[in-house]
């Protein structure tokens, strides 16, 4: 029922769709039976999708929360701290071989952290923003998020700015470099 009240393509709808796609990838990993190569490809895919999603949230969702919610700064700062922690884990995973001791444990740590983050956003932040913002604002933010994800970085960069305007200026250039690296390495084909 809740989905019927959302506008397709609006910010919340776009972000929830991302959440479901990442959850599917986590479930595929947890199901097991994958070769080392398949596990690496799936983890690289998860990292790419999480980074693109995080960049879009940092550029549009959290600034919207800061502006629209009474405790928006507190909410956004908490979410950004969770992103920073996840990005550190993703950076570690990116540099590990799937056969390394601790690889699966680190994937599990990332999975648990992201599931908790998603659950909190969907239970608390999204409904509050849907109440605080009008439909046109949410649609506009959804379009901006979709556009941002196309040029966003695909690899974790923990030391990069996570707030506008710096992230909005730097992210597209870093994204271009990441996509060139991905093409050269054969990542996410």
Which of 54, 177, 76 shows the shortest CA–CA distance to 124?
76
How are the residues of the chain apportioned to helix, strand and coil, as percentages rounded to the nearest 5? 80, 0, 20
pLDDT in tens, 123-154: 999 999 999 999 999 999 999 999 999 999 88
How far is the CA of 60 from the CAs of 48, 107, 117, 118, in angstroms?
19, 27, 17, 16
Give the residue carrying structure tokens 């959850």.
23
Residue 121: predicted pLDDT: 97
Residue 76 has pLDDT above 60, yes or no: yes
Cα(78)–Cα(162) distance, integer angstroms: 13
Whether residue 3 has pLDDT greater than 50? no
For the chain, what are the domain ranges? 8-185
Higher local confidence (pLDDT), 155 or 54: 54
pLDDT at 161: 76
What is the pLDDT, as a whole number, of residue 26?
Answer: 98
Q: Is the peptide bond before 165 cis (omega within 30 degrees of 0)?
A: yes
Fold classified for 8-185 = 1.20.120
The predicted pLDDT at position 164 comes to 78
First-to-final CA distance of the chain: 36
């Amino acid at each position: 029922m809740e989905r019927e009240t959302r506008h397709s393509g609006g910010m919340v709808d776009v972000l929830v769709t991302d959440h479901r796609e990442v959850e599917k990838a986590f479930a595929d990993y947890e199901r097991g039976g994958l070769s080392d190569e398949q596990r690496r490809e799936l983890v690289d895919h998860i990292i790419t999708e999480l980074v693109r999603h995080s960049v879009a949230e940092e550029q549009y969702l959290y600034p919207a929360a800061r502006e629209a919610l009474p405790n928006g700064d507190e909410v956004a700062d908490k979410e950004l701290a969770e992103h920073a922690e996840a990005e550190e884990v993703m950076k570690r995973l990116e540099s590990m071989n799937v056969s390394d001791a601790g690889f699966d444990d680190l994937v599990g740590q990332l999975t648990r952290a992201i599931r908790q983050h998603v659950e909190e956003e969907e239970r608390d932040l999204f409904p509050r923003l849907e109440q605080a913002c009008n439909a046109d604002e949410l649609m506009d933010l959804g379009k901006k998020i979709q556009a941002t994800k196309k040029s966003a970085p695909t690899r974790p960069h923990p030391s990069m700015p996570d707030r506008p305007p710096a992230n909005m200026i730097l992210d597209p250039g870093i994204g271009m470099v990441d996509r060139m690296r991905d093409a050269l390495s054969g990542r996410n084909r």
